[in-house]
Amino acid sequence: MSGGWGPPTTPGPARRQGLTPRTTIWIIAGVAVVAVLFRIHKITTFEILLVCTIVPSVILHEVSHGAMALFFGDDTAKRAGRLTLNPIKHIDPFGTIILPILLVLSGVGAIAYAKPVPVNVSRLRNSRNSSVVVSLVGPAVNIALAVVLGFAFKALVVGFNARVDAVNGVGGIGAQLLFVAGYVNVLLAVFNLIPLPPLDGSAVLERLLPASALPGYYRIRPFTMFVPLILVVLDPSALQHFFFWFEIHYASAIGVPVNG
């Protein structure tokens, strides 16, 4: 999933961001891997949809951070050319392409992240409060997308009494796409609301801390990002169970039957 809104940054003059040769190679490699695996039946249509829907969802998540920061007076993301839906501007070769493919193949689920949108907290009006809003708008956008996609699924699929079990990859491609896109946004929202830096939920924790505790918090913040990775390494099934719990509850909410 997206790593959320990270520490305040102040980039230099805006640079023209394009598709670098390195990024192009990563994209071609990722597409080639998916194509080969699909051809030899090592990856399902459902899993391909997971990878394909998480990329635009992560990008919308990141763009919303920059747009809200602009609303509160910080145009850093705008000057960096990051207030765009052009995926090329946001792709992190490993985090946006390779990582979700590897996780889907391992059966864990799908986590991805884009390049964090730069935000200069010192330029925000009422910075301590508005920075919380800037952080939480990403998960809020994912929740809104999940709700809209859920209603669309119920209206277009369940409403027509279509025989579909989208959780287990059964049914028309359109039904699976709607379900997977909604499910991915649920996971992005939930994961990013964990109050652990650099995830978005940590902004709430930071706001609640007294000013005297902030220097110590800032010292340990760069290292907390490794905690989830360590937990997954120690117990690889933990993340899978975490994802599956939300999958079945989201499926139940929109009327999708779950087998097993």
Domain annotation covers residue 12: no
Domain annotation covers residue 9: no
Q: What is the pLDDT of residues 28-43, one digit of tens each?
A: 666 666 665 555 556 6
Task: Name the residues annotated as catalytic.
Answer: 62
Domain annotation covers residue 69: yes
pLDDT at 214: 84
Domain annotation covers residue 8: no
Q: What is the pLDDT of residues 45-83, one digit of tens each?
A: 777 788 788 889 999 999 999 999 999 999 999 999 999
- Domain span at residue 69 reads 21-253
Domain annotation covers residue 70: yes
Residue 11 — pLDDT band, cuts 50, 70, 90?
very low
Domain count, the chain: 1
Domain annotation covers residue 11: no
Does this model's pTM top 0.85? My answer is no
**Phi first, then psi: what are they for 165, rounded to 5°?**
-125, 80
